[in-house]
Amino acid sequence: MYLSIVQPDFSQVNAARAMTNEQDMHRNIQALFDSDRQSINVLYRFIPSKDIRRAVICVQSDVTPTSTSDLKVISCVDARERISFIKKGMLLRYDVLLRPVKRHDGRSTLIRDKKSRTEWVEALAQRYGFEIVAITEVSRTSKTMFHSGERSGRIDGYRYVGTLSVQDADLFKKAYETGIGRDKAYGYGMLMLEI
């Protein structure tokens, strides 16, 4: 697994447009690789800055990315050794964007109640081999997305930070590598950890 820092070149039209359309952001991220997202576990998270020229994107993948005209790879580190240190019972600080949703009549809707969202995150953690020790819902995120010729839509979610406890090391390592929850292709589900 590789962790990379990528910087958009906002003089390029595609890079600038990706700031307002998550579908374009997904395309730009995938252009860094010669493979589809799922087969090499590509996850990303946009890290904003007051000065937009300093904004970066954290990218996680099974292979190293290659710079494009829109995105420049600033750094890339091999994180396999980092993962090997993860053991059952470890307490880790986390930061993650998630989409707490419930299914009804084949449609997904964002959970409105904060307590219910927290319970949803706690249940999700159990499926991925960890337990939430502390959780803070920091902010709501809203991402605009549209495909050519279609109406635009929004993908809403929340940012969570706190502490987790590893319950099943193998299951948790897999979750760390592949992401958790829904809409990983659009910047959700990447577990950012302090190891």
Mean model confidence pLDDT for the chain: 91
Q: What is the mean pLDDT of residues 42-62?
A: 89
1-15, 18-32, 120-134, 138-152: which has the minimum mean pLDDT? 138-152
DSSP bridge pairs for 192: 95
What confidence score (pLDDT) does residue 150 get? 64
Task: Among 56-70, 85-99, 148-162, name the one with the lowest average pLDDT.
Answer: 148-162
Q: Is residue 191 over pLDDT 70?
A: yes
Say how far apart CA 148 and CA 124 lie, in whole Å: 33
- What pLDDT band is residue 86 in, cutting at 50, 70 and 90? very high
Backbone Cα Rg of the chain? 17
- List of residues 6+ apart from 132 with CB closer than 8 A: 121, 122, 125, 162, 163, 164
Statement: residue 6 has pLDDT above 80: yes
pLDDT range class, residue 147, cuts 50, 70, 90: low
Q: Which two tokens stand for residue 122?
A: 């706690």
How far apart are the C-alpha atoms of 175 and 66, rounded to whole Å?
25
| pLDDT for 4 beyond 80 | yes
Per-residue confidence (pLDDT) for residue 137, from 0 to 100: 96
CA distance 19 to 91: 34
- CB-based contact 10:72 (threshold 8 Å): no
Q: Measured between alpha carbons, how far is 129 from 127 in angstroms, rounded to an integer? A: 6
Return the H-helix or E-strand segment holding 46: strand 43-47
- Give CA–CA dist 155/153, Å, rounded: 7
Q: What is the pLDDT of residue 108?
A: 81
> Tokens for 52?
């937009």
- Percent above pLDDT 70 for the chain: 97
CA 25, 123, 131, 111 dihedral sign is positive
